[in-house]
Structure 1
Amino acid sequence: MAVSNNGRRFVLLMPWGRVGSNLVAATLARSRDIRIDNEPTTRIRTFGERDGVPKEDQAQQQLAELETFLAEDPDDMRAAGLKLSYRSLIEPRVYLARLRAAAVPLVLMTRKNHLKCAVSQLRARVRAGALSTAWQSPWAVRAQEPKPGPVEIDPAETVRLAKLFERLHAETLKAVRRVYGDDWLSVEYAELAASPKSVIGRICDWTGLDQPETEDLPHRKATSDDLSEDVLNYTELASAAEAAGFADMLSRAPG
């Protein structure tokens, strides 16, 4: 049973990215009764590091932004959601504890196949450098866009990122369990990819939201389950993945 705040606030938390959060957030945001604040903590940390802002000041900015989010505007009757990357949080335990104290229902979105997270991340980076129009996003492919074609990626960087995704996954789970106990909803990428409408319905039930229109989903999967279809130097990638202990994640199964 989710903690209750009358369906006014909720949070979508992910270790970093590549877990299907753009699909969920975009689908929920179709409703005029729901707004999504998209990774404000990432924005604060990105610009803070660029501008040399001390970490403690970045943390205070993140918490101040959170207080603004939690404060209900009597003129805005919409439910409001936060989409957050755990990696962006300067003081994750303090931040999550504030959400918990405010009785904000939490949905944790994860992806157990860390290698595919890494491949998807690197493919998005390649795509970011090749986009021809301002409305396109490298991080989410719209339903009407063609699926991005195969690219060559760096096997060593793929392994490095896979290990980073693996570590962030473990850290996020530990932090959520410490603060929320068992009172949170788990959404795994393979489950979302297999049955997105059903999973989005479960998220709505957990957070107290009305079910949005899901007949035509706004985004499509950008990387094939069979990585050999989308990685030009797949043989080299597979060798590096196997040597690093990620052989099982080369599976063609959804994930």
Structure 2
Amino acid sequence: MELNHHPSMSTLADFTLGTTSSIGDLVIQAHLSACEECREAVKDMESLGGELMMQGGHVSRKIDIGLRKEGLRICQEYENQSKDEDNASLRLSRVGDLEKGSELSDLFSTYLDCSFEALPWKRAGKNIRVCKLRSERDSSLWMIRGEPGAKLPAHSHGGQELTLILKGSYACSSQIYSKGDLHESDEEGAHQPIIIGSEECVSLVATEGKLKFEHWIPRLLQPLIGI
């Protein structure tokens, strides 16, 4: 599977350290199951963090500046946690169970305890339906589906948003996101995904905080949908 959009290096480092929310972890793990490039990046960060810790923050090999920055952050966290037995698992690979990858279509059974069509879908605009799968503190996990041509309401965020495309495609901010791609957004700026292609688009989405809609109609419906 050829993928064009991935988590940022900072987000992958947070995942490596186990500091992302458990809900955010689910979406990142799902992307990693289909993305060899990101699995290798996480392994590189784990390896570099351990190497930096063992060699006092120095390595002789040439490495990417961004990778070195996150590797140093991981190294520092490893050192902070080195005496805490409860965090021993911190130094175990977070991609060990994902080496073989999987088909994204198999993920439905991972997140759902009923059939896809039996989920309690709620309308969130013309030809858009959403379903909240779980919540934890200020984070929520959603399934969103839209028909070709449908536009999600323009919105910004109260925190990070991670969107994994499970089926179909959408366009947003001059970029096209397709099956397996991960769209990472933060509280800076609004965006409006538009479903493209000939099939429906289904996404798994982790959000932090409430969405901030630009128009009054979705804001009015927001309490009913719970977004």
TM-score for both structures, normalised by structure 2: 0.25
Structure richer in strand, relative to its length: 2
Higher relative contact order (CA 8 A, sep 6+): 1
TM-score for both structures, normalised by structure 1: 0.23
Structure richer in helix, relative to its length: 1
